[in-house]
Structures are given as C-alpha cells and as structure tokens.
Amino acid sequence: MTARSNSDTLVTVYGGSGFLGRHVVRALAKRDYRIRVAVRRPELAHFLQPLGRVGQIHAVQANLRHAPSVEAAARDAQVLINLVGILTEGGRQRFDSVHSYGAEQVALAASAHGARLVHVSAIGADENSSAHYARSKAAAERLVLSAQPQAVIMRPSILFGPEDDFFNRFASLARMSPALPLIGGGQTRFQPVFVGDVAKAIADAVDGKLNGGTIYELGGPDERTFKQLMQYVLATIERKRLLLPFPFFAAKLQAMVLQFMPPPLTLTPDQVELLRADNIVSDAAKASGRTLQGIGIEPEPIEAIVSSYLWRFRKAGQFRSRAA
C-alpha cells in the first residue's frame, strides 16, 4: 500500500489572504499541500496563486459570521486552519462575532467533516482580562476545544515581517510626529516573533508533528519592553524623537479620540488595556516544550529581519549618507 502524499491532502485556510495567512499559504505550498483559501473577498486573493504550482491554491468565499459558508469551505478538507482575527472593532466586525462565534463555527465544521484543526489565538488570551480582545480570544479557545478536543492552538506574540502592523506603524508615526508615546511608561514586555517562524510551526502542525489538544506559545528569542522596541525603531530608521511616558488613565482618555483616527494614529481604549499585561511566553510553556524552540524551530531575532524593511522610513531611504 503506497503512502499518502501531501498533494493528496486538502487544507482549508480561513483568513489565508492576511498578513500571517500569506506566509502560511506559502509554507503549505512548499510542502505540496492542496490549499483552499477561505476569505470574505476571494477576488482579492488572486495574488496568492503564484505562491504555488498551477491549480494548487484556490480561493473561495467564506465569512466566519455566516456558519453555512464556513461549513461549505470545510467540505472534503482533511485539515482546517483558522487565522481570522481583528485588532479593532468596527461595523459588523466585533470581537465576539469574529473571534468567539467564528472560531466555534470552524471547529464545529472540523468536527462534522472529521478534519484536524489548527487554531491561531494570541498570547494574552484570558477570560479574566480587562481587554475585550483578550477575553474573546480566550473564549474562542474554550469553544474550539469543546467542539474539537484534538485541535492544535497557537498563541503567537506580536508578529513582525515586511507587512507587519507593529514596527511599520510606529516607524510611520515617527516619520510624522516629534514624539512617540510610552503607554504605562513603556514597561510592558513583548516577545516579537517572525511571521515566517509562526507559519512554519503551523505547517508542522498540519504535518501532524505537534500534539493535538495542546496550546503552544510562540515568541521570538528575546524579550523587550515597549520602550526598548521604540528605541530600536528609532535607531533603525535613524530618527531622533522624544519618548513620552503616558500613564494608563491618560492614554485611555486619549484613545477615546484616537480610535476614530486613521492608521498609524489609531489607538483604542481596548488596546490600552492590553498593554497592562506582558505579551511573552509563559514559564509553563517553556518548561513543557510548548514553544518554537521546543518543537525544533530556532526563532529569528528582530535584528535579522526588521531593518530589511524599515529602511524606507529613513530620511533618504536606503541612500542616506553614512559619513561620520
């Protein structure tokens, strides 16, 4: 009896056209899986097709708030991956409907079709958190494991890579503002993780190398405070800016206005609440090997990647003078 090859396996990736999604699709395509990308606007996902061979990647319509479309996208797939998430609420896009309800629909579809499930959550998921985002992520994990007990859950820290919404956001802000805010004094700790490393971990889960019913916490090799990350951004883009500490209460008041501003000025009260807790891999995850290093992936440091795409925020881009 011949062994089943990856090309015989169909993987549905919900949210496959997003920042993390395109890296996951690329990683799966390199491993020869057939990929169904389930997104709200499939006509805008054609850019993914060159990541694989002809016919390997196909986009279909699905909306996590519409259960029948979620179920339809799961048909005939052996593995489902849920990457859908939002950082801010707006219109019909609410944390509870996208994170909690939507994640449960994907898990129910996986159970109904006998498919394995990889669900991407976030470090900081906590049903007791003061931040609605973190509560909805924790609720999603609970609902997912209830519907599909053997699901693999990934909790990454903040993601970095060429299209990220963290380093690019603050570099852009530094280009137009004389100061950068340090909410809570900038002492919140982060463990930024390269998006390609997270995609590799997800592909390993699809390969069946990771344990079902397990939560993995994915962080980079270094912990940095928010202040240290802002100092790194300024050093990388070669700009001098003031770093102004803001107490949490003042930042939250300011966020009530900034939440209606366009990026990179946008800041919501819920994001301020998130900054009250560190965003790092837990000691329990480290001790049990539920980390990138624990599954055999050596994470990339920010210094190896970030400068390769932040140079455009320098005054003269890559052509600035290096004279002493």
CA gyration radius for the chain? 20
211-224 pLDDT, tens digit per residue, is: 999 999 999 999 99
Q: CB–CB of 21/196 below 8 Å?
A: no
Asked if pLDDT for residue 291 goes beyond 50, the answer is yes
Q: For position 323, what pLDDT does the model report?
A: 43
pLDDT band at 269 (very low <50, low <70, confident <90, very high): confident
Per-residue DSSP letters for 100-144?
Answer: IIHHHHHHHHHHHHT-EEEEE--TT--TT-SSHHHHHHHHHHHHH
115-160 pLDDT, tens digit per residue, is: 999 999 999 999 999 999 999 999 999 999 999 999 999 999 999 9
Q: For position 263, what pLDDT does the model report?
A: 67
Q: For position 256, what pLDDT does the model report?
A: 79
CATH of domain 7-160+191-221+279-299: 3.40.50.720
pLDDT band at 320 (very low <50, low <70, confident <90, very high): low
Q: For the whole model, what pTM was predicted?
A: 0.93
Q: Give the chain's end-to-end CA distance (angstroms, integer).
A: 68
The DSSP H or E segment spanning 286 is helix 283-287
Q: For position 250, what pLDDT does the model report?
A: 83
Helix (H, G, I), strand (E, B) or coil at 71: helix
pLDDT band at 318 (very low <50, low <70, confident <90, very high): low
What distance lies between CA 175 and its chain's CA centroid?
Answer: 25
- Which amino acid, residue 321? S
pLDDT band at 196 (very low <50, low <70, confident <90, very high): very high
Asked if pLDDT for residue 175 goes beyond 70, the answer is yes
Beta bridge partners of 195: none
Average pLDDT, rounded, for the chain = 92
pLDDT band at 278 (very low <50, low <70, confident <90, very high): very high
227-267 pLDDT, tens digit per residue, is: 999 999 999 999 999 999 988 888 888 777 777 676 666 78
| Cis status of the peptide bond prior to 68, with omega within 30 of 0 | no
Q: For position 254, what pLDDT does the model report?
A: 79
CB atoms within 10 A of CB 316: 9
Asked if pLDDT for residue 324 goes beyond 60, the answer is no
